[in-house]
Amino acid sequence: MPELPEVETIRQDLRAVLRKKKITAVTVRKPRMVVGSPRKLVVTLRGNTITEIDRRAKLLIFHLQRGDHFLLLHLKMTGQLIYRSPRTTIAGGHGWPPVGPDLPNKYSHLIITFADRGQLFFNDLRQFGYVELVTREHKEMITKTYGIEPLTPEFTWPAFREAVRPRTAPLKQVLLNQAVIAGLGNIYVDEVCFYAKVRPQRRAHRLTHAELKQLYRGCNHIIQQAIKHRGTTFSDYRDTQGRRGNYWRRLKVYGRAGKPCRRCATALQKTMVAGRGTTYCPQCQP
């Protein structure tokens, strides 16, 4: 499940390889995954050039040279963006390192081909992801709905405290709320709560100053570490070369229900909070 660290890893990798590349062809195999007119998307992209790749929360934003349009792309739960360089594309993937399964596959719902014959494949097993061509105004309207963005200068301790403190909902729900903190998902919320030694069920407005501070530290620390290790692959996530993320080895609670806590060896418990599977240590997180 791509969350902020996974989407950021993809953004950085794609930026290095797609910037200034001219699009020569766009194949929409699953029109449902295009918000708006697939035809207009194809016509606008063809012959256009990608000038920059941005990210807001889990949303990728491709800047285009011609026309005041932006391409928004959301991976939702099972989306993948795999890039094949001209060599691997033309050679049919016989190179080294191994390039993974043949592409396109049955989940490749959108394919963008560049002038140098490189190709970008948008794969999505569950088809929840989408692409959308928007105007600058529309893009700004959408990005405005997100809360404070980790890793940016606006993600300060006072901003975090004021965003979280007044909320009466369970902490888990508050941290998952993209309008409060942008980019956290189920995996990293559980990890941040463990880091801060706070039970995810706790109501945000009942947290102490010290607990909030630890949560703030946790957001920064966990996200930075996860990006450093190129994200978490639990099932479907792959980077732009089809490789797994390495942070899963470092997960303390997510996916470890019933296993011993790495801090105190107590069996980790799994429950439902805000409709999501939630794992925590009953000993370390009172």
Partner DNA sequence: GAGAGTGTTGTAAC
Partner DNA sequence: GGTTACAACACTCT
Query: 202: burial class by Cβ within 10 Å (0-12, 13-18, 19+)?
Result: middle
How far apart CA 112 and CA 141 sit, in angstroms, is 26
CB of 73 to DNA, least distance (A): 12
CB of 278 within 8 A of CB of 190?
A: yes
CB of 19 to DNA, least distance (A): 24
CB of 233 to DNA, least distance (A): 13
How far apart CA 230 and CA 5 sit, in angstroms, is 7
Query: 15: burial class by Cβ within 10 Å (0-12, 13-18, 19+)?
Result: middle
Residue 87 CB partners (closer than 8 Å, separation 6+)? 95
Catalytic residue IDs: 2-3, 58, 276
According to DSSP, the β-strands at 130-135 and 34-35 are parallel
CB of 91 to DNA, least distance (A): 28
Residue 261 DSSP one-character state = P
Query: 25: burial class by Cβ within 10 Å (0-12, 13-18, 19+)?
Result: middle
CB-nearer residue toward DNA: 23 or 180: 180
Binding site for DNA (CB under 7 A): 1, 3, 32, 57-59, 74, 76-77, 106, 125-128, 145, 167-169, 173, 176, 178, 185-187, 203, 270, 274-277
CB of 20 within 8 A of CB of 48?
A: no
- Looking at the DSSP bridge assignments, the partners of residue 278 are 271
Tokens 């990890």 belong to 191
CB of 23 to DNA, least distance (A): 25
CB-nearer residue toward DNA: 23 or 163: 163
